[in-house]
Amino acid sequence: MKFSPCHIFFALVLVLFPVTYQAELNTKIDLPDMGDSSGTIITPAEEKELGEYFFRSLHSQITINQDAEIQEYIQTIGQKLAANSDAPSLPFHFFVVLENDINAFAGPGGYIGVNSGLIVLTEAESELASVMAHEIAHVTQRHLYRAAEAAGRLSLPTMAATIAAILLGTQSPALGQAAIMAIMGSSVQFQIDFTRENEMEADRVGMQTLQEARYDPRSMPTFFERLQQSSRYYGKDVPEFLRTHPVTASRISDTRGRAETYPYRQYPDSLSYQLIRAKLKVLASNDDAATTKQFQSGLTQGTTEQRTVARYGTGLVALKAQRYIEAESIFQQLAKQNPGQSHYATALARTALESKNYRLALTRYQQLTEQFPSNEAIKLEYITALVRSGDSVTAKKSLSSLPYKTQSLPVYYELMAQVHNDLKKPAESHRYLAEYYYAMGQIQDAIFQIRLAQQSKGLNQHLSAILRERRDFFLHEQIEARRGQ
């Protein structure tokens, strides 16, 4: 029997046993106890490890957003939804994939990715929230957890890489085929007859999360309808989101009926949604002239806020095209008119940095850190400016003061590697480069950098022990991955 990518995806990702329940459409759903087999086939610690493997594997296959401003936004909206889900205590990690394809997916360990193409396609923040709430529901209903248990005989690295490949449309056929053979060889049986029920369950639970988080429940069927209508123009190139989340008339009807039971009210978009969407349009564009024309057409249309966002978009295009004087003028005006808005002032500081006016850039970033002391995105940009201006001592101190979560990001390791290189500490530089490559899913490069660090002169006993431990860790993971294949 030949398995299609869709079949494999559903076998690994979607729930194996459907759940039915009775509840009022507009009341809190009383979900049944599905049981927790933690400690049997896959433990919570292993699930966390699987999620980390998965995320690293994604980095080696696609472009994960590293822009701190975009990351902060998607994390903020995601955590708001997660906090209002039926399992608010579960850990979640939200990120943006810089791909124009329309896709979103939930991986193990609560890692939820949304393609930039899907964000740009949305016409309201609640539409984006509806997709994310649907993916959160896949996690809270333990769909992937159960599938991972069924495939528990695979090694964690192989399972994670396989899930990543399948979620992305089997971009690694050799890996996918090897994993399929391993699954078949271990006699793991998958049931894939409940796909429709699984999707509708995620819709129902996700819609409840939308309502609790104060997003528009009607946005879910609205976005589904637009996807269904647009799918007729794709031909054979159907977006991955529609392959893995088939939108049927019954699903649209079901979500529409449920949405109408909630009271109607206005759900305005946040300014951050509009600004991040504009930023992603610019990043994804291959035709700056066309993008500029699109933003310019909005300078005289819509609300005052929408016209301001259009102005911001034209400034971003100018900055991307290295028209620094034009960008400076636009952002200067926006920052002056909106003194409490961080995006405009940050863009102004970034303009000075990109034009290599480091003294002005540092002054602006210093002011921003004082004005927005809890904004991690600004802190990372400020540190980047310190590194590029040659102030590695201050940059190192600032990096050390970042919270633990930020210190696990690839950009942190990259900056630390650059700082130690500038401070003439090659062993530490190679060490942090190794961590950067590991976070990016490039285990062989990580091992190479660790070995370069070990060959450096003047190693003390403490650093030597750290390098030896990390080398052994990387080698063990590489062996496990090869063994699973």
Whether the CB-CB separation of 125 and 214 falls below 8 Å is answered with no
User: Which DSSP category does 40 fall into?
Assistant: S
Residues 6+ apart with CB under 8 A from 450: 430, 431, 434, 467, 470, 471, 474
Q: Taking Cα atoms as reference points, which of 106, 116, 409, 134 lies closest to residue 255?
A: 134
Q: How many CB atoms lie within 10 A of CB 278?
A: 25
CA distance 116 to 241: 13
CA distance 265 to 258: 15
Q: φ and ψ at 114, to 5 degrees?
A: -130, 125
CA distance 7 to 293: 43
CA distance 102 to 114: 9
Whether the CB-CB separation of 431 and 466 falls below 8 Å is answered with yes
Planar angle of CA 230, 233, 235, nearest 5 degrees:
125
Whether the CB-CB separation of 465 and 445 falls below 8 Å is answered with no
Type of residue at 420 = H
Given the structure tokens 């101190």, which residue do they identify? 397
| Catalytic residue set | 135, 203
Parallel, antiparallel, or unpaired for β 93-97 and 111-115? parallel
CA distance 51 to 53: 5
Given the structure tokens 């398995």, which residue do they identify? 3
CA distance 165 to 199: 21
CA distance 121 to 274: 12
The runs of H, that is alpha helices, within 169-323 are: 173-185, 195-212, 219-231, 240-244, 249-259, 271-284, 288-297, 304-320
